[in-house]
Amino acid sequence: MKIKSIKVIDGKNKWSESKDKLIHMVLDLGVYENKPSNKIEGFYERIKEHLPSLQSHRCSEGKPGGFFKRIKEGTWMGHIIEHVALELQTLAGMDTGWGRTRGVKGQKGMYNVVFNYEDKDKGKLAAREAFNVVNDIIDNKNPQIDSIVKKLKPKNLQESIRRILLEETSLQSRVNELINSRGIVVTSTMVGGLDTLSKILNLDLNDVDTQEKLVKNFINFYDLKEESIIIDSLEVRTTVNGEKVIKVNGTVNDDWEDFSSWYVLHICGKMERFFPFKTQPYDHSVFSTRNTKIFIESEFLYEE
């Protein structure tokens, strides 16, 4: 693959009636014109591993996980580079999310990749880095996502907050919107960490009701990388000791007898590394401490 050109659009254009700040990259896919994502061994698994936050991209499916579905079924590298460029900017704290990829008329294997930006220099950098990330994933190399995001981030948190405040909504409203649309993990990365997010929203992380809301959001946006798993609903009950128990209900096309136990242990381990408060598997409560208020249990129905 080759980048033929990268141009900045600032004003009215043929690509969008509502977006006037766009990056226009022309790509030559070369041999990958005949090798969509489903024809590249391990590509789907590797991109989910390196950029799990792409789970929030709905794409033409219209729901979270839609873009990953497109990758699994087979889509072209230009389309994937478009989404990666947007996600790298998002992880760096920029409010982007619009893109289009279209073939160049009369030139097989050539594609127009167009996406929006907040900072034109960072937008051009995102285009180049997205191209490099996708090539690394194709070649089974380890793209340095954290390093790339650091290069794309505004100089300081104040600049990031200033950009968010340019929106008509308040900072708190905007952050809440992001939590509901992108999840707590991605949003905390965008604003500089969970501590900063807590200060913006005045969250008391020792409050059990706050913990419940954050954990439910974490579970709803968490990607298990297991296509056979469907999370159907979450139920909450309170024990006589005032402890919250969140039950995960779902279905799985699998024959693992201990799947529910594995799921609980797995997701509690992930949350322990993210949250400052503890979560415990419900059937392990004997090992809990007084500070543990959130317990997780699960029940998965098996489909034939």
End-to-end Cα spacing for the chain: 43
Nearest-angstrom CA–CA distance, 24 and 108: 18
Give the pLDDT score at 61: 75
Give the pLDDT score at 168: 45
Is 254 or 189 the better-scoring residue by pLDDT? 189
What average pLDDT does the structure give for the chain?
85
Segment 218-223 shows an average pLDDT of 82
pLDDT band for 304, please (50, 70, 90 cuts): low
Percent of residues, the chain, with pLDDT higher than 90: 44
**pLDDT per residue as tens digits for the range 85-132:** 999 998 888 888 899 999 999 999 999 999 999 889 999 999 999 999
pTM above the 0.75 mark? Answer: no
CATH of domain 211-302: 3.30.300
In this predicted structure, the answer to whether residue 5 has a pLDDT above a threshold of 90 is yes
Domain with CATH 3.30.300 in the chain: 211-302
Nearest-angstrom CA–CA distance, 115 and 96: 8
Do the bridges between strand 99-103 and strand 110-116 make them parallel or antiparallel, or are there none, so unpaired? Answer: antiparallel
**pLDDT per residue as tens digits for the range 36-73:** 999 999 999 999 999 988 988 888 777 788 899 999 99
CB 220 within 8 A of CB 272: no
Is 258 or 278 the better-scoring residue by pLDDT? 278
CB 127 within 8 A of CB 80: no
